[in-house]
Structure 1
Amino acid sequence: MIQTETKIDNANEFPPIVELSFHKIKNIATLPAVAHQIMNLVADAESTTDDLRKVIINDPALSACILKVVNSSYYGFPQQIGSIDRAIVLLGLNAIKNIAIATSLNKVFKSNRIGTDFDPCDLWTHSVAVAICARELSVMSGLGDPDEVFLAGLIHDIGIMVEMQANHQEFVEIIGIVSREQDTTFRQAEEQVLGATHELFGAYTCREWNFPPHFEHVVRYHHHPLQLPETDRIIPVLVHVADILAANIHEGYSRTVETETIDPEMLSILNLRESDVESLGESLRESIHEAHQLLGG
């Protein structure tokens, strides 16, 4: 317990390389203005769907993506939806927010591959898979808001993109280590080369992007959510379990995942049994692939 409290007390402290790396790069350091506007509108109880529409129609790519999503079999509405107004009503504000952020993040993950062993597009595939699995776990367990949990899953590994773009040569070295040394975890290689892990790079990014604190918790503790106080564990645990499920069905780049088994304590927190989740990933494979296509995969 003392160790956990120390970690939380020091949560405001980041190694210098984390802050320097974030401010060194341009295409990830600023979440597009439209995504920020939509986040602010969703958080404002006095905002209206008309406020949201005015923001969306000024971004043709986002408008097209929203219409593509609302007309997909993922939602299964009986009639074609042709207006942004109707799409907002049917999808809801949180889903619109997720689409806006997802389409923004997808551009971040469109980078050149690192040798033969790492393609950022594969990491995006994994992130979408984790988002879908986490959302379904949220629905199954009745814990967390499914839309918030989806977004948390989508951004859980964003710190890797900060590392890669700000410290390219060092990242090539990290990929080389994890490719050669199967017993070395991704996080161990990060510590060895950079002195910090993707959780810290990602947590700092969430803070700079003004995401709510629980997203920073997810990104910072998704490998070890039990280090958080009980009141802050639910969404990080959902994402942790989803991370393992996505890796077990081999969706995208999953070398970052350190175990194939789910801690019984995690399942207990979610009020789920192993049998509840063991086939979940496979059953969601089609949904994962569809979501990947819809979000610009």
Structure 2
Amino acid sequence: MSLMEEIIVAVDDMPPFPQVVQRAMQALADPEYEVVGLVDILKVDQAITANILKLCNSAYFGLPRKVSSLKEAVVYLGANQLRQLLLSGAASKIFEKPNVGYAVFADELWRHALATAVMAQVLRKFRRLKIDENTLFTAALLHDVGKVVLSNFVADKYLIIEKMVESGENSFQEAEREVLGFDHADIGGKIAEKWEFPESIITAIAFHHEPARAAKEFRILTELVALSNNLAVMVGYGTGVDGLACRGHGLLLEKLKIADRDMEELVLLFQLEMAKTCEVAGVNED
């Protein structure tokens, strides 16, 4: 079996994305979603139900009495916090293993994924972009999912890839593609296809290092994910060795009309939103 065939088999072996979460995301995408219908979707998963009630009764909300009804908890949390809780819970299980090929500690890739999703939401609000929140958060959160599959393959070829990157002639993903036949963005797109995500999310994941290659209808979404990825690294939520080889965010900042003078405000907004999201997702921010 060739190396490329082994990688394809590894993609096929990825566990499915939780159906309850996908169905809940579809329901939340409707601005007029019905709470009763959403509760019917969520109540079949005991772990999700327990997490929703746990968050609702946490000190973060400081409610005067204990909430024991899933329906009541869903109403208290609202769409945005439910989305963050559900997607974060599903994604954390995918990213929880150490990523040896990228020199990433057990939680570092996960924290980078969450930071990228938060940064994307901050940029969306800052520029008042008309992009679906569900789609953007999901694509940004899962943009590096291909690393989960490629990690062991990268580890086996690490010295070759590292040498190519250190030469200054290749970004990390360019070196991946030359040595392995795929880069982690390619593989991430294939995983998103396997999970039957919408074409918009598949595209944003597959081209988050090359947004110019995205179909025109998904270009802004992909550019936002690409820029958020780079800015997350810039503010300290890096992803090991390949985080040192990010390129091109200057052009994306210019295209999205974000000036140097905006960066201080953006970073402050990001820090505030990251703290809130970590609280909702049950993540240690430090």
Q: Among 127, 146, 154, which residue is 1:171 paired with? A: 154
Closer/same/farther in 2, CA of residues 91 and 256 from structure 1, 3 Å limit = farther
Q: Are 1:89 and 2:75 an aligned pair?
A: yes
Give the TM-score of the pair, scaled to structure 2. Answer: 0.80
d(CA) in 1 for partners of 2:64 and 2:281?
A: 21
Residue pairs, 1:1-297, within 5 angstroms = 19-23=8-12, 25=13, 28-42=14-28, 48-70=34-56, 82=67, 83-93=69-79, 95-114=81-100, 117-143=103-129, 144-164=131-151, 168=152, 170-177=153-160, 181-182=165-166, 183=168, 184-253=170-239, 255-257=241-243, 258-259=245-246, 262-264=249-251, 266-281=252-267, 283-292=269-278, 294-297=280-283
d(CA) in 2 for partners of 1:91 and 1:293?
A: 13
**RMSD of aligned Cα (Å):** 3.2
Q: What percentage of aligned pairs have identical amino acids?
A: 25
- Unpaired runs of 5+ residues, structure 1, are 1-14
Displacement after TM superposition at 1:234 (Å): 1.3
Which amino acid in structure 2 is aligned with residue 21 of structure 1?
A
Q: What are the Cα deviations for residues 189-235 of structure 1, in whole angstroms up to 9, with x where unaligned?
A: 32233210111111111112111111011101111212234432111
- Unpaired runs of 5+ residues, structure 2, are none
Displacement after TM superposition at 1:157 (Å): 0.6
Contact 1:134-1:149 at 8 Å conserved across structures: yes
Contact 1:111-1:120 at 8 Å conserved across structures: yes
Closer/same/farther in 2, CA of residues 133 and 174 from structure 1, 3 Å limit = farther
Which amino acid in structure 2 is aligned with residue 51 of structure 1?
G
* SS at 2:44 equivalent: coil
Give the TM-score of the pair, scaled to structure 1. Answer: 0.77
d(CA) in 1 for partners of 2:248 and 2:266?
A: 14
> Which residue is equivalent to 1:6?
none
Closer/same/farther in 2, CA of residues 18 and 142 from structure 1, 3 Å limit = farther
Which amino acid in structure 2 is aligned with residue 155 of structure 1?
L
d(CA) in 2 for partners of 1:63 and 1:92?
A: 15
Closer/same/farther in 2, CA of residues 65 and 252 from structure 1, 3 Å limit = farther
Closer/same/farther in 2, CA of residues 276 and 146 from structure 1, 3 Å limit = farther
d(CA) in 1 for partners of 2:20 and 2:274?
A: 25
d(CA) in 1 for partners of 2:114 and 2:128?
A: 21
Contact 1:35-1:104 at 8 Å conserved across structures: yes
Aligned length: 274
Which amino acid in structure 2 is aligned with residue 171 of structure 1?
V
Contact 2:102-2:242 at 8 Å conserved across structures: no
* SS at 1:272 equivalent: coil
Closer/same/farther in 2, CA of residues 102 and 67 from structure 1, 3 Å limit = same
